[in-house]
Chains A and B, each alone.
Chain A
């Protein structure tokens, strides 16, 4: 069961900006890599 802990002060959204940037970066950077590589392999479809 959950332990009784004092309720911490509400987080303000602005305090979460670094976490938002970092978390989104971890998923969007690999996705951008995958998209770039895929678009490169699509090129022969339009040039070949």
Chain B
């Protein structure tokens, strides 16, 4: 199945587009998405200081609520990746 991730903050280094498309096995959850992201970062962006992103980021559902690692993703679902924040 395919998931779309809206990119924010440092995660924007993962793509020139606003969203990143990730292919995952059916019935994957956020924990599995983290593993896929970790692999992607290690393979494609080893020098971009993104090593810890897959572990430190939160994810928001389309309702802008934090979703935990057990959250089951749906095909074509759009979620947001929320790297560690620091406004002000």
**Bound pair (A, B):** no
- Chain B contact residues, CB within 8 Å of chain A: none
